[in-house]
Amino acid sequence: MKQLQLCIVIHNHQPTGNFDGVIEEAYRLAYLPFLEALEEQPHVRIALHNSGCLWEWLEARHPEYGRRVEALVASGRIELMGGGFFEPILPLWPERDRRGQIRRMSRFLRERFGVEPRGIWLAERVWEPHLASDLAAEGIEYLCLDDTQLLQVGVKDEDLRGYYLTEDSGAVVAVYPIQMRLRYEIPFAPPEQVIETLRASADPEPGTMRLFGDDGEKFGVWPGTHKLCYGEGWLRRFFDRLGQEGSWLSLALPSEHRMRTPPRGRIYLPAGSYREMTEWALPPDAQEIFSETSRFLRDSGRGDAEALLLKGGTFRNFLVRYAESNQMHKRCLLAHSRLDEAGDISEGLRDEIRDHLWRAQCNCAYWHGVFGGLYLPHLRDAIYREILTGEGKLDRAVRGSDRWAEAALYDYDGDGEREAILRSDRLELHVSPRCGGGVLELDDKVGGRNLVNTLTRRREAYHARFRKEESASDDGARTIHGRFETKEEGLDRFLRYDRGRRMGLSDRIFLTPPTIEDVTGEGGGLGCGARGGAYEADLATGDGWAEAILRGRFTLDSSGERGVAMSRTLRIHAGESRVDVICEIRSLAAMPLRFHFGLEWILNLLAGRAPDRFVLVDGVKPEDPHLAGTGAHPGAASVSLVDEWSGTRVDLSAEGAAAWFRGPLETVSLSETGAERVFQGTILTPVWEIDLGAGAAIRKRMSLAISHSGASSRSEGGPAA
């Protein structure tokens, strides 16, 4: 008689820094009603993984949820799975962090629920072979990976009805395949169709199984799924059908199945993830080729060849596709190395600091696919907040209340060029000579925020669809991998791509008087930064100050006869939240030179149209004062950004500037609820008129100062609205 065991694995997660209201809505729409439906169906048993980020929120806001889960665990109806506590992509981080995060989750489950997890939910199912050693060393016996990862090494679909063993250096773990077809059918196909899919896998062989594993948010949070699952009763009907098919279908927990059933063999898997992730990790052109080839093979009836041959990219490609992701990743590693090098601090404090740095490893802000991810400024802001909060505690432990300033020059981001780092008790600047002397980070330690938390506008593969499809109003439930809806009409008007990386303090050179569009557009103008030219950097320190001196050259035309030498000095001061900038421009030409010179800052206070965040020009609100507003201000001496919510104010002044220009930097990106325009920061550029005789030089000065009112600092408060 044919039979089948079904393992159901549910993974719930909310990222570090997500809005409290968003998590509350997910609890109301998905986490709670799913748990209620489970309680009502005593024959249903599942494996459950909640990330540590979510567990912390649930225990603080809805402790009754944990008590109800505890009862189901005690009755044998829920198996709790481990994982990296703060949901990191484990292969991205050093072994101490990989194992430490797994150990942290196991300790939490042991102390809170009295269970020792035997399985792990791997964040985004990102696998690399060396993980087997880490998992086995931490007592993990099994994990779930997508069936596509096994198909890619030649395993056939009919051989995916059980688990395999893999090893690294002799350390063994079991691998359960997650069936992709079930991921796409549950809960979007009728329960009867899902049952037939399962029936097709039934087999007389004892221990035959299929495993469904996916996000719990698809049962209520994804568009249309709350109505489908609970309003229309999909989940109840599905659970009912599982009970009605008891003659051939049974529900099993993964750990039980593994104990009772031998493995189907040994397997070795290359680095990978689920199919969609490997596609998103590719550059846009490669994504298009991948998609076209996939369609061709399916249409040709060679779906087996598609699964075997199309492997896509690895997760680490995101660190290449997005320099901002790489910056956060290497910044977190840098902070952890400082902790490792710290001297005599208590183990309790060391653990507290490490927890902040582990929170900064939460995966969501490091990548982008159909979810907003990296494109969401508040998630990136939370990563920096955790890093800066941890570093702040370390600085206070090591340096006390001393005022100090220092400078360093070394390559920490892996690009082969040394970055200039200026640090003080109140500020930290990361300057890239390679990127035209731009500021990669302006860390306000008091407020716990990187003020240059912006994102370059890039082409994404899905941008082509904006011109092919109109916004859909259908509120039905469909898997998000097949949805394409827009939250705003005419989004294609905002599809702009920057010529170079956008950051702070990029030089802009214009041969004619610039317009707002010239200054706030795709990064126009000449200059070392705009042309991708590099500066050379030197450092200097003194009593209570540190500075970086950057020098570069560029030409105003292709002949090379109208050359200019640029020297830029950035100085910070102990005990002050101020950056002073001095630019010296020297003519290398034998003729007079006339042009317009600008220094572009891009600062992000997160909310482009919030009433409690606005711009002041010479201390007065201009027309359209929003941070996402646009304006040209001839003769203005200063521009300020004010954030009343966090009590932060940034004042910029430019000596003798002919005009200030401002405008928003906005991206168009995809999220699970539709395509949207996202505010990534305010472009602020003072422009000077330059008139140089042959061999002459001129100096221009500007400063940036940060102040805080009595409002809570960002390191202590919640995310902005």
| Cα–Cα distances in angstroms (integers) from residue 712 to residues 174, 644, 648, in the given order | 48, 10, 9
Q: Round to whole Å and give the CA distance between 704 and 422.
A: 15
| Right CATH for 327-458+485-708 from 3.40.50.10860, 1.10.3720.10, 2.70.98.10, 3.40.50.2000 | 2.70.98.10
Say whether 124 is catalytic.
yes
Angle (CA) 236 238 243, round 5°: 95
Cα radius of gyration (the chain): 28
Q: Count CB-CB contacts under 10 A for residue 434.
A: 18
Determine which of 228-237, 304-313, 646-655 has the lowest per-residue pLDDT on average: 304-313
Strands (E), 62-136: 78-80, 119-120
Catalytically annotated residue among 79, 87, 97, 124: 124
pLDDT tens track for 414-454? 989 999 999 999 999 999 998 888 999 999 999 999 999 99
The amino acid that residue 413 corresponds to is: D
- Whether 452 and 603 have beta carbons less than 8 Å apart is answered as yes
Q: Round to whole Å and give the CA distance between 212 and 193.
A: 15
Residue range 4-271, CATH number: 3.20.110.20
**Mean pLDDT value of segment 388-402:** 93
- Would you state the pLDDT for residue 713? 43
Token pair, residue 448, equals 């716990």
DSSP state of 11: E
Catalytically annotated residue among 157, 159, 168, 215: 215
Q: 183, 121, 188, 173: which is closest to 148 by C-alpha?
A: 183
pLDDT at residue 663 greater than cutoff 50: yes
**Mean pLDDT value of segment 181-201:** 96
Token pair, residue 420, equals 């200039």
pLDDT tens track for 256-274? 999 999 999 999 999 999 9
| Cα–Cα distances in angstroms (integers) from residue 37 to residues 64, 81, 240, 500, in the given order | 16, 20, 11, 51
- Would you state the pLDDT for residue 193? 97
Q: Round to whole Å and give the CA distance between 121 and 493.
A: 41
- Would you state the pLDDT for residue 675? 87
Phi, then psi, of 604 in degrees rounded to 5: -120, 110
- Whether 602 and 666 have beta carbons less than 8 Å apart is answered as no
| Residue found under tokens 């008007």 | 493
Residues with Cβ within 8 Å of 493's Cβ and at least 6 positions away in sequence, in order, are none
Q: Round to whole Å and give the CA distance between 15 and 382.
A: 9
Domain boundaries, the chain: 4-271, 274-313, 327-458+485-708
The end-to-end CA distance of the chain, in Å, is: 58
The amino acid that residue 305 corresponds to is: A
Residues with Cβ within 8 Å of 475's Cβ and at least 6 positions away in sequence, in order, are 223, 224, 227
Determine which of 1-10, 339-348, 620-629 has the lowest per-residue pLDDT on average: 339-348
**Of 510 and 10, more confident:** 10
| Residue found under tokens 């698809």 | 218
Q: Round to whole Å and give the CA distance between 161 and 177.
A: 8
Q: Count CB-CB contacts under 10 A for residue 286.
A: 15
Token pair, residue 403, equals 């005022």
Token pair, residue 231, equals 């309003």
pLDDT at residue 532 greater than cutoff 60: no
Q: Round to whole Å and give the CA distance between 344 and 373.
A: 38
